[in-house]
Amino acid sequence: MDSLDLNQPNLYLNRELNLVEFNRRVMAQMTDPAVPLLERLRYMGIASTNMDELFEIRIAGLKQKAELGAVSSGPENMTPHEILRQLSGHCHELIDEQYRILNEELLPALEEEQIRFIRRTEWTQEQDDWLHNYFRQELLPVLSPIGLDPAHPFPRILNKSLNVIVALKGKDAFGRSSGMAVVQAPRSLPRLIQLPQETGSGPYDFVFLSSVIHAYADEMFIGMKVTSTHQFRLTRNSDLFVDEEEVGDLMRALEGELPSRRYGEAVRLEVADNCPDDLIEFLMNTFELQPDDVYQVNGPVNLNRLQAIIDLVERPDLKFAPFTPNLPAELGHGSNLFKVVHKHDILLRQPFDSFAPVIDFVRQASQDPDVLAIKMTLYRTGPESVLVDTLVHAARNGKEVTVVIELRARFDEEANILVANRLQEVGAHVVYGVVGYKTHAKMLLIVRRENEGLRNYVHLGTGNYHASTARLYTDYGLMTCDKEIGEDVHKIFLQLTSLGKVARHNRLLQAPFTLFERIVEKIRRERKNAEKGKPARIIAKINSLVEKQIIQELYAASMAGVEIKLIVRGMCCLRPGVTGVSENIEVRSIVGRFLEHSRVYYFENAGAPEVFCASADWMERNLFRRVETCFPILDTKLRDRIIKDLDMYLADNTQAWILQHDGSYVRLQPGDAPPLSAQQALLAEVTS
């Protein structure tokens, strides 16, 4: 490590460009014949949502840096202007490809299954009559078309809303003739309208709301001639900024900031590809955008809306087969979870195992007369959460309920404020973590009086306490009453709710205090073991790898001969395959039915393997600016179960993508080997 400069920019990949590559992998699912047709449509919506967030957060942030004159943006030493230029090229390419797949592959395939999106030029008279009536009865009364003139300036356009720019000829009743108007589609109406079969339509015929507005736009401008109508959509900067050191009440400050998210600075304009240049230029000037910020699309400007079809169409044969998560008998209905966990640790592997035991753990605690206190962190849980219902019930039952709610969980701020208010109304202690540090740890602590005294029962997880995502995300959860782990969790809750110095922990690693240092120590230990000829291996399964110092330690370990296998779902700034630096490092990404979300760290430790699960990715924000927990898997059977899972992911040859030296990814093919999907194999274990 000392003889080679590991700060060389060519050793690092740009995080934003790498994020675009992740979206490319998601889009590949849209064309995969092994994926059911309607699920391919879902992946299209996911890709669209991912692109929205890329613009709302990453590109918006880069634009701000560029305006402030920032020189470089990361270890790859690219300026914000350079990154933005490359991002523009990649994003235009990806979005064009997305619409090509929609128009040339998905829509024809859906039509073969009698699921049709009917264009205006194809409407029959019966359909036209029905839609015209729908327009007059349901749509026109709630539309507010705005003619543009000095008394009617361009309206404020809501972030990611559907709008129509209308070109007009003639004069109105007051003699005005600005020649232009804007129609904002009501958010209260569905973007897809299903045609009834009495119009001669098939079982699943749909029309876009924008098509209906286009078709009957002239009725909004009586006596004038509509010469053209074109849909457009604006993406705005959606990051929130609250100076936590200057506000006295974080929740009230966030409540005040949330409305501004809808009207942040414009960063992207999506517009129909047949929109005339003069109208595009008018919109560009209105929103102070450049040509690179404009995306002309051949189809609806918000592909995410098409996901609604999945619930509207009752075709199980075109969707993933439903499954029932595994629920071990000892954790089933009527079992006493305190007795079970008292006997041995429990490992839950969502979504393959049921999330119900976690809910039951809190429910039993809320009803158990021996339970004195329940403490929990909530990052994302949803406003209609059974867990929140149970915590409310526990507080009403007289339990000491303490909840650390992270109000700043991006795009979940509003839901978390509602949860906080609800819990406070029933007397629960609600705190918002630590100023300057997001509380991202996933912890549940139940304090119970038993014959031997007070005992701490704990659940620690890699994912959120969210019952819906527990069926979609892969995560690990540990239920234990290990004394040392329980003491550590208790200390962290004290730290979050009270004041005091950093406590020494027995088992847990915690960001921002010990996690980074201990990871570095363990990587260096593997490096020393390799230099001594001892077994040395590192496996990390994480969502993102960005932190420069961790990357440098991995490079140094690779140079010493440590075998390093990284399973990184999204961003990875480490560049594998560099001669003399990272030849012993493989980076793979798994993209399948479920979102890979679990964080697992494996260290060979000279033949005495250590396995940790964590809430933290290897990013600066997780290691230094968040409260995170990392917990060891002490039970050898549970540890071996996780190792077996990791080996399965490393053997995946159907849903695995391998990161190349140039930053691109290549999908593995089974070749002559039997095909293996880790997710499908794990699913088969609970469905067979």
Per residue in 316-348, pLDDT (tens digit) is: 999 999 999 999 889 987 899 999 999 999 999
Sorted by where each starts, the structural domains of the chain and their CATH numbers stand as 10-318 (3.30.1840.10), 329-507 (3.30.870.10), 511-687 (3.30.870.10)
Q: Could you give the residue numbers annotated as active site?
A: 440
* Cross-strand bridge partners of residue 498: none
Per residue in 36-76, pLDDT (tens digit) is: 999 999 999 999 999 999 999 899 989 988 888 877 768 88
DSSP labels, 341-355: HHHS-EEEEETTB-S
Residues 633, 635, 641, 642, Cα dihedral to 10°: 10
Tell whether the model's pLDDT for residue 250 goes beyond 50. Answer: no
For residues 233 and 546, what is the distance between their CA atoms, to the nearest angstrom? 32
Tell me, what's the pLDDT at 409? 53
E strand or H helix at 680: helix 678-687
Per residue in 128-141, pLDDT (tens digit) is: 999 999 999 999 99
- 79: CB partners within 8 A, 6+ apart: 66, 70, 71, 72, 73
**In degrees, to the nearest 5, what angle opens at C-alpha 307 toward C-alphas 303 and 309?**
120
- 80: CB partners within 8 A, 6+ apart: 62, 63, 65, 66, 70, 73
For residues 687 and 681, what is the distance between their CA atoms, to the nearest angstrom? 10
Tell me, what's the pLDDT at 73? 67
pLDDT band for 577, please (50, 70, 90 cuts): very high
Contact 659, 589 (CB under 8 A): yes
Tell whether the model's pLDDT for residue 245 goes beyond 50. Answer: no
pLDDT band for 615, please (50, 70, 90 cuts): very high
User: Is 0.85 topped by the overall pTM?
Assistant: yes
For residues 86 and 74, what is the distance between their CA atoms, to the nearest angstrom? 15
